């Protein structure tokens, strides 16, 4: 298979977008250089970088390359203490010797790790022991003041183990439309359930797994939670993490409730009501004990900055994770290096090329900060660490653009917007895409919660409007079939596998269109006094509102 040569495709693309914008407010040509983009991605995904695993020699090579390239582009160090980096120390938790059981109606119900239950923790310590902790069914485990919703009411769950449902009430009954119908809100994610329980001082959380609302099967739960868990090092971990994080299979929950004299399905229906109150499981307790091995690794975010000319304290962000999976099990060809060329050498390359274009143009009024995040593949931890310990204040971070696994197969008809409907960046994205003759395509499967699964999310959660938009839909340039075949093959055979490799045949015209969108909107924002906000009803609005005084 052979795609159009990159240079030819780029020339054709540039011509078409120039025509499409004539007469309108034509933005200055960006002059993104496809050859530079391709070369960055080639270098970063070379076998010598060993799949860019965190805490490996591949990390040191990546950090050095990014630092050199940001400097060559004309950016300044944007990290801690005038350096190019921010240290991210991660805890790695491995649970072993798990013993868990329910005591209900005088019976002991043993629970086997990986079968009826998975138990883990992200709280530093050597041993977890919960004995006869009372069990309380807390519905969806959600407190959402802006939606006038509180599953906990005045019930104190300190020291108790709460049993909660995955997703939110609208999943079963979208017409309620309390949580945006079928589009999952952050309240539906398992991460939220654990965080809210920690805020309330619960001793543990048991999430009842059900295939449809989780959007994945029990095997995904056991694969993800039976191995080591990572977390950033937290100053007050006990306030943010519960000692026991667990999931159980639905059948186990139904039986537990029955033995306690309760009807799981009836309670699940009650949980869809605003009036729901937590229900203690009469005479039922949970016991769990396991050993925890906690080790630390230090990895690095790379930050580069172009200070603004007149309002340097106000920041426009561009983000992309540099890390990938590293070296894994050899595939059928004996290749064990997960090169991560598309995921995410492409986005990492995009930031370097964006830096070059920003620095070459007129100095913006506000500052531009590029962050190459670490540890995305371990659970968005580089971005979580930055968002919890920002080098540049979040309250005066105007907006950000995240890039992850970009389109290398040519120009497409649409701009897919993950999390469409959340922020006022939507209208800017639509206008920029229209200049390219493209339409906006909202999230294809919003109920799966994609908005909560990449690096923009830890920032959004703390109120920073973040865009995550990448090309989608049919290809615009012939020949279409080999492009579709290449894109499909990536999803089936290359994504998170050793074959995610660089190719000289990539057509980067589509990636460049997506970068143009982020550049144009960034330029408008960087030379304005605008503060795009969250739309009414977005769960991220309240976090932003709390710092409004900083944006006068």
- By CB under 5 A, name the binding residues for Zn ion: 343-344, 404
Look-up: residue for tokens 């209208």? 427
Residue 198: both structure tokens together: 């920690």
Helix ranges (DSSP H) in 162-217? 169-172, 190-199, 211-214
Nearer Cβ to Zn ion (314/343): 343
Give residue for tokens 């120390």: 89
C-beta of 548: minimal distance to Zn ion in Å?
33
For Zn ion, which is the closer residue by CB, 344 or 423?
Answer: 344
Closest approach of Cβ 496 to Zn ion, in Å?
9
Residue appearing with tokens 């004996």: 334
Give the residue with the Cβ less far from Zn ion, 384 or 404: 404
Angle at 201 between CA 197 and CA 246, to 5 degrees: 45
Shortest approach of Zn ion to residue 65 CB, angstroms?
18
Nearer to Zn ion, 102 or 322 (CB): 322
| For Zn ion, the closer CB: 121 or 346 | 346
CB closer to Zn ion, 248 vs 320:
320
Q: How far apart are CA 221 and CA 92, in angstroms?
A: 18
Q: Of the two residues 343 and 353, which places its CB atom closer to Zn ion in the complex?
A: 343
- SS3 label, residue 205: strand
Distance CA 545, CA 473 (A): 35
Q: Is 191 exposed, middle or buried (0-12, 13-18, 19+ CB in 10 A)?
A: middle
In sequence order, what are the residues at sequence separation of 6 or more whose Cβ sits closer than 8 angstroms to the Cβ of residue 464?
317, 387, 394, 397, 399, 400, 544
* β-bridge pairing 279-306 and 117-120: unpaired
User: Across-strand partners of 249?
Assistant: 209
Least CB distance from residue 102 to Zn ion, whole Å?
38
Residues listed for the chain = 552
- Report the nearest approach of Zn ion to the CB of residue 412 (Å): 19
Query: Smallest gap, in angstroms, from Cβ of residue 378 to Zn ion?
Result: 12
For residue 231, the minimal CB distance to Zn ion (Å) is 19
Closest approach of Cβ 320 to Zn ion, in Å?
8
Identify which of residues 385 and 534 has a Cβ nearer to Zn ion in the complex.
385
Q: How far is the CB of 112 from Zn ion (least distance, A)?
A: 33
The span from the CA of 454 to the CA of 481, in Å, is: 29
SS (HEC) of 76-95: EECCHHHCCEEEEEEEEEEE
Q: Which is nearer to Zn ion, 141 or 400 (CB)?
A: 400
416 and 441 Cβ atoms separated by less than 8 Å? yes
């Amino acid at each position: 298979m052979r795609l159009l040569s990159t240079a030819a495709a780029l020339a054709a693309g540039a011509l078409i977008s120039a025509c499409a914008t004539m007469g309108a407010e034509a933005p200055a040509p960006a002059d993104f250089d496809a050859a530079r983009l391709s070369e960055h991605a080639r270098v970063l995904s070379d076998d010598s970088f060993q799949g860019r695993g965190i805490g490996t020699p591949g990390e040191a090579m990546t950090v050095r390359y990014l630092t050199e390239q940001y400097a060559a582009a004309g950016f300044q160090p944007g990290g801690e203490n005038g350096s190019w980096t921010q240290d991210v120390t991660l805890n790695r938790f491995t649970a072993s010797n798990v013993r868990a059981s329910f005591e209900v109606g005088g019976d002991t119900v043993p629970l086997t790790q990986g079968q009826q239950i998975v138990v883990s923790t992200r709280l530093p310590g050597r041993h977890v022991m919960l004995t006869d902790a009372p069990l309380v069914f807390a519905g969806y485990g959600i407190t959402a003041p802006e939606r006038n919703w509180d599953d906990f009411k005045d019930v104190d769950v300190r020291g108790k183990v709460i049993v909660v449902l995955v997703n939110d009430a609208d999943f079963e009954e979208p017409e309620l439309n309390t949580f945006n119908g079928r589009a999952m809100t952050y309240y539906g994610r398992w991460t939220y359930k654990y965080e809210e329980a920690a805020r309330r001082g619960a001793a543990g959380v048991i999430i009842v797994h059900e295939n449809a609302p989780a959007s994945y099967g029990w095997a995904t739960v056991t694969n993800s939670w039976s191995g080591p868990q990572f977390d950033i090092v937290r100053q007050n971990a006990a306030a943010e993490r519960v000692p026991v994080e667990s999931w159980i299979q639905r059948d186990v929950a139904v039986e537990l409730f029955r033995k306690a004299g309760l009807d799981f399905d009836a309670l699940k229906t009650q949980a869809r009501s605003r009036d729901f109150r937590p229900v203690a499981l009469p005479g039922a307790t949970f016991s769990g004990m396991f050993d925890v091995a906690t080790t630390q690794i230090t990895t690095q975010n790379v930050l580069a900055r172009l200070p603004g000319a007149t309002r340097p304290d106000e920041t426009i962000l561009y983000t992309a994770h540099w890390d990938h999976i590293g070296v894994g099990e050899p595939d059928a060809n004996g290749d064990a290096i997960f090169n991560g060329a598309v995921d995410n050498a492409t986005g990492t390359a995009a930031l370097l090329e964006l830096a070059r274009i920003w620095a070459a143009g007129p100095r913006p009024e506000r500052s531009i900060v590029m962050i190459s995040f670490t540890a995305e593949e371990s659970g968005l931890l580089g971005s979580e660490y930055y968002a919890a310990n920002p080098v540049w204040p979040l309250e005066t971070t105007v907006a950000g653009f995240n890039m992850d696994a970009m389109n290398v197969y040519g120009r497409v008809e649409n701009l897919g917007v993950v999390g469409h409907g959340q922020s006022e960046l939507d209208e800017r994205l639509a206008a920029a895409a229209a200049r390219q003759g493209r339409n906006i395509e909202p999230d294809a499967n919003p109920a799966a919660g994609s908005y909560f699964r990449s690096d923009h999310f830890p920032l959004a959660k703390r109120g920073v409007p973040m865009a995550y938009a990448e090309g989608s839909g049919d290809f615009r340039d012939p020949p279409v079939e080999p492009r579709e075949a290449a894109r499909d093959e990536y999803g089936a055979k290359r994504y998170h596998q050793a074959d995610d490799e660089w190719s000289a045949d990539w057509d980067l015209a589509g990636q460049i269109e997506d970068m143009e969108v982020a550049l144009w909107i960034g330029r408008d924002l960087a030379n304005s006094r605008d503060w795009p906000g969250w739309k009414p009803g977005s769960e991220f609005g309240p976090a932003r509102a709390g710092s409004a005084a900083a944006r006068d």
